[in-house]
Amino acid sequence: MSLFKKPTKKKQRHLRECLIDEDTEEDEAEIARKLEGVKELQESRARKNGLNAVECALGKELAAEFIAMDDDPFRQRGGGMLRLSEGRQAQMHAADIEAGIRDQFKKESFLRDEHEEMKKYVQAELRKRKASKIPSMEDTLMWKAAEKVRLFRSERNDELLSNQMLAGIPEVDLGINARMSNIIETEKKKSEMLKEVVEKRRNLAQDSLFSQDRAKDLAKDYVQHSICKQLILQFILFIFHIYQYIY
C-alpha cells in the first residue's frame, strides 16, 4: 500500500466550481444579449418626429437657417450689456401703445352710452317747468297713465357697451372656396416673407465677410508698402555711404 492517498474529492470539487462559473458567465451573456434585443426593438418602435410648420413652408435647409437666427434680444450667446436693435425697440414701443389703447378702450366700454346724471337733471328740469304751469285735467290724466305704463313696461337695457355693439355685427359667410383661397394666399405671403428674411440675412453675412476680406487685404498692402519703404531707405543710405567713401 502507498503511504499517500490521491485527493480525488478535491479534484471533483474544483471541476464543479469551474463548471458553475462557466454556466453563470454564459447565462449573464445570454441575458445581456436579450436586453440589447429588447432595447433595439423598443427603439425601432419609437415614433419619429415629422416636419414642423417652418420646415413645411420653407424646406429643411431654409428652416434650419431661419431657426438658427436669434432675433430675441433676451437670448444672448455671450456676456455684455443688452442692446436692443431699432426694429426691436419700435416693436416694443408699438406693443406698449397697443396695450395702452386696449386698456383705455376697456375703461371707456364700461361707461354707459347715456349719462345717468344728465338724464336725471333733464327730467328734474322738465318737472319744474311743468309744475310752474297749472296742469289741466287732461294733462294730469295723461301723466298718471304714463306713470302706470312706465311701471308695467319691461325695463330697457340702456347699458349697451361699445364692445357689445361690435360683437353684435353678424359675420358674412363667404363660402368654403373663399376661405380656402384666403388661407392659401396668407400661407404664400407668409412663406415669401420668411424667404425674404432669410435672403436678407444671407446678404448681410456675405457683406460682412467681404468687408473682413477687404480689411485683411488693406492690412497686407500696408505691411508690404512699409517693408518696401524700409528697403528703399536702406538702399539709399548704402549708396550714400559708398559715395562718401569714394569721394
Chunked mean pLDDT (size 10), the chain, 247 residues: 54 61 75 87 77 71 67 47 63 75 66 66 80 68 77 54 56 76 88 85 77 75 77 80 72
The model scores a pTM over 0.85: no
List the domain boundaries for the chain.
85-154, 181-247
Is there a contact between 200 and 69 (Cβ–Cβ < 8 Å)?
A: no
pLDDT for position 135 = 62
Report DSSP letters for the chain, one per residue.
Answer: --SS---HHHHHHHHHHHHHHHHHHHHHHHHHHHHHHHHHHHHHHSPPP---HHHHHH-HHHHHHHHH----TT--SS-S-----HHHHHHHHHHHHHHHHHHHHHHHHTS-SS-HHHHHHHHHHHHHHHHHS---HHHHHHHHHHHHHHHHSPPP-----HHHHHHTSPPP---HHHHHHHHHHHHHHHHHHHHHHHHHHHHHHHHHHHHHHHHHHHHHHHHHHHHHHHHHHHHHHHHHHHHHHH-
pLDDT for position 239 = 79
Residue located via cell numbers 436579450? 34
pLDDT for position 76 = 47
